[in-house]
Structure 1
Amino acid sequence: MFRIIIENYLKLFFILTPFFILSTFLSLTSKWTKHDRKALAVKVTIAITITTVILLIAGNAIFKLFGITVDSFRVGAGILLLLSSINLVKGNIETPNTETEDIAVVPLAIPVAVGPATVGTLLVMGAEITKYSEKILLFISLILSIVSLGILLYISNIIEKLLKQKGLNILIKLTGLILSAMSAQMILVGVANFLK
């Protein structure tokens, strides 16, 4: 049970692209006070939690509504995840520009943390699991990953001093490499199941 939680936790943590959202968070709040950054970190964490929980719950209903199989969606989500990972590795990511004061939901929660690739992956993960006990374990993993991300944002001032931008860029590229492996696995499983 503990192993399943850890495995899902690691997958979900990297799917949320924590170091990219941290880098974006720091750049968008460069002139903010420590107190304001911490308050924003809490709001972003809540927004991500609500969004991702809805996606996990709605997975099966969405597939039934549109008549899409889990495997076809798995391949599609895998391709989106692969494209996102390539952008992370190459550094071809645009930091969203916003003139609004409330940036917790848009752009930080959506689409920086919960972009198209994350949406697809969460829908697949939610639809794959049918047992109630396994769903509970998945939700525990999701909450743990979001809390970890929230802590990163909450202590962003400390991380910024320790890593600087160069350190964050290295972590972003490592995240991209991990996501590329996960996307390849998703695509291969979807194709293999389709061929059966």
Structure 2
Amino acid sequence: MSLNFDFREIASSGMILFAVIDIIGSIPIIIGLRKKVGHIQSEKASLVAASIMIAFLFIGEEILKLIGIDVNSFAVAGAFILFFMALEMILGITLYKDDEPETASIVPIAFPLIAGAGTMTSILSLRAEYHVENIIVAIVVNIIFVYIVLKSSKKIEHILGKNGINVIRKVFGVILLAIAVKLFAANINQLF
């Protein structure tokens, strides 16, 4: 088996995943979750998200076919999740409620915030275009960046301050809403 490492493929798939994961835009959500639950296990969230993404790279399409869901339906469902997360950010409301969350490391950070439906759909699209080993490198690079952001969320909050976080939260809420609308629009007509 020969490995086909290609810097261009790694860079392209890495940038696509970076835009879809949007960890910078998720900083306000991460800070909000940290306030709710107290502590976020950065290592655990990063490893679980990486595992989900790499597993989905290999068996994602087969799993969806097995349960009778096509990629377009999965993407539309992901669009709804992103839509409601964006509404929370823009309007300052709480839709996701957990009475006594012990940790936010796996839900909702690892899934669906990092390795959500948008990321999964992107991984399936990348698999059709690029070699698997290049996509894995792109996933690992993105997860390292995600880990750094999760680990530094207290420092980032301190630097930005409450007003800075509120502004970023609203701006990235609108961007997340736009991504949700784009994901929905790109896949809804394939369902009918």
Question: Is this a same-fold pair by TM over 0.5?
Answer: yes
Work out the CA distance in 2 between the residues paired with 1:77 and 1:178. 15
Number of residues paired by the alignment? 182
Alignment of 1:33-112 (within 5 A): 40-93=41-94, 98=100, 100=102, 103=103, 107-112=104-109
Q: Which residue of 1 aligns with 2:143?
A: 146
Tell me how far 1:96 sits from its aligned partner.
5.2
Which of 173, 178, 192 aligns to 1:176? It is: 173
Which segments of 5 or more consecutive residues in structure 1 lack a partner in the other structure? none
Q: 1:156 to 1:5 in 2, by over 3 A?
A: closer
Work out the CA distance in 1 between the residues paired with 2:160 and 2:124. 38
- Over residues 102-144 of structure 1, what are the superposed CA-to-partner deviations in whole Å (9 max), with x where a residue is unaligned? x3xxx22212342389532233223334447354444333333
Q: 1:194 to 1:168 in 2, by over 3 A?
A: same
Work out the CA distance in 1 between the residues paired with 2:108 and 2:171. 20
Q: 1:14 to 1:47 in 2, by over 3 A?
A: same
Which segments of 5 or more consecutive residues in structure 2 lack a partner in the other structure? 1-7
Work out the CA distance in 2 between the residues paired with 1:123 and 1:182. 14
Q: 1:134 to 1:165 in 2, by over 3 A?
A: farther
- Over residues 76-104 of structure 1, what are the superposed CA-to-partner deviations in whole Å (9 max), with x where a residue is unaligned? 2222222221222112236756475xx3x
Q: Which residue of 2 aligns with 1:19?
A: 28
Q: Percent identity?
A: 18
- Over residues 2-37 of structure 1, what are the superposed CA-to-partner deviations in whole Å (9 max), with x where a residue is unaligned? 3443233221234983431133225533xx8xxxx8
Contact 1:21 1:112 in 2 (8 A): yes
Tell me how far 1:60 sits from its aligned partner.
0.5
Contact 1:74 1:121 in 2 (8 A): yes
1:115 aligns with 2:112: yes
Q: TM-score, normalised by structure 2?
A: 0.74
Q: 1:72 to 1:154 in 2, by over 3 A?
A: closer
Q: 1:131 to 1:115 in 2, by over 3 A?
A: closer
Work out the CA distance in 1 between the residues paired with 2:74 and 2:34. 30
Tell me how far 1:185 sits from its aligned partner.
1.4
Contact 2:25 2:172 in 1 (8 A): no
Q: TM-score, normalised by structure 1?
A: 0.72
Q: 1:140 to 1:96 in 2, by over 3 A?
A: farther
Aligned-residue Cα RMSD (Å) equals 3.2
Q: Which residue identity does 1:142 align to in structure 2? A: I
